[in-house]
Amino acid sequence: MINLRKAGLAALVLIFSFTLLNAGVVSADPAPAPIRIAIVIQAVEPLTPTGELVQAVLGAAAGYLNGKPKFEVIPPDRVRDAQHDLGFVITDRSTPRDVSLFAAKVNADAVILFKVAQVALRQVRITAMAFSRVGAAIYNQTSGVISVESEGLVAKTVMRFRDQIIPLL
């Protein structure tokens, strides 16, 4: 004989499980893999890639993303080593083929390039570009002239670019 009490309990558990799945409280699928992002800084002379301003740009770009489970920022030393191994650096003039080779080398889903160019003695212009894994450009924007003395404005500009790029990834 079928135990109606146990069958009823099993049915309730089954109904409750499907209710949670449909409501999105419990997921049947494992968590999606994070989007791996390589951030490249192109510093145009006379700026140097190790300069304080360039480090501030990198910090503003990567700081927000590192804490989010949806994103994984590839470490800067791995980005630098990959460019060295490939024999070229990623710049605003890189071909889609170069970007896709670089993305494959660091196993990135997207590449974000920040070009910091000095336009006057204490002024810079920042260009943000984003590329997909296959090298297709998905974002390209240039800021106005920014005073180097205003680190807050530099950080805000980079964060504004970053916030516009994130939904595209």
- Give the pLDDT band (50/70/90) at residue 13: low
Which CATH architecture does the domain made up of 35-168 adopt?
A: 3-Layer(aba) Sandwich (3.40)
Query: Closest Cα to residue 114, out of 62, 68, 72?
Result: 62
How far, in Å, CA of 148 to CA of 156, rounded? Answer: 13
**pLDDT mean over 93-101:** 91
Distances (CA, A) of 143 to 66, 83, 128: 24, 26, 8
Range of lowest pLDDT (47-61, 84-98, 107-121): 47-61
Where along the chain do its domains lie?
Answer: 1-30, 35-168
Tens-place pLDDT, residues 107-122:
999 999 988 888 887 7
How far, in Å, CA of 48 to CA of 150, rounded? Answer: 18
**When comparing pLDDT for 154 and 86, which is higher?**
86
The residues, any chain, with a CB within 8 Å of residue 77's CB and separated by 6 or more, are: none
Give the DSSP per-residue string, 9-77.
HHHHHHHHHHHHHHHTSS-SSPPPPPEEEEEEEEEPTTS-TTSHHHHHHHHHHHHHHHT-TTEEEPPHH
**pLDDT mean over 10-25:** 54
**pLDDT mean over 36-63:** 73
- Kindly calculate the radius of gyration of the chain based on its CA atoms and give it in whole angstroms: 23
**pLDDT mean over 124-138:** 90
Query: Closest Cα to residue 43, out of 103, 89, 99, 101?
Result: 89
Per-residue confidence (pLDDT) for residue 64, from 0 to 100: 62
Per-residue confidence (pLDDT) for residue 20, from 0 to 100: 47
Per-residue confidence (pLDDT) for residue 108, from 0 to 100: 92
Q: Contact at 8 Å (CB) between 128 and 165?
A: yes
50: amino acid identity, one letter:
T
93: amino acid identity, one letter:
R
**pLDDT mean over 26-45:** 75
How far, in Å, CA of 86 to CA of 126, rounded? Answer: 25
How far, in Å, CA of 140 to CA of 115, rounded? Answer: 11
Question: What percentage of the chain exceeds 70 in pLDDT?
Answer: 73
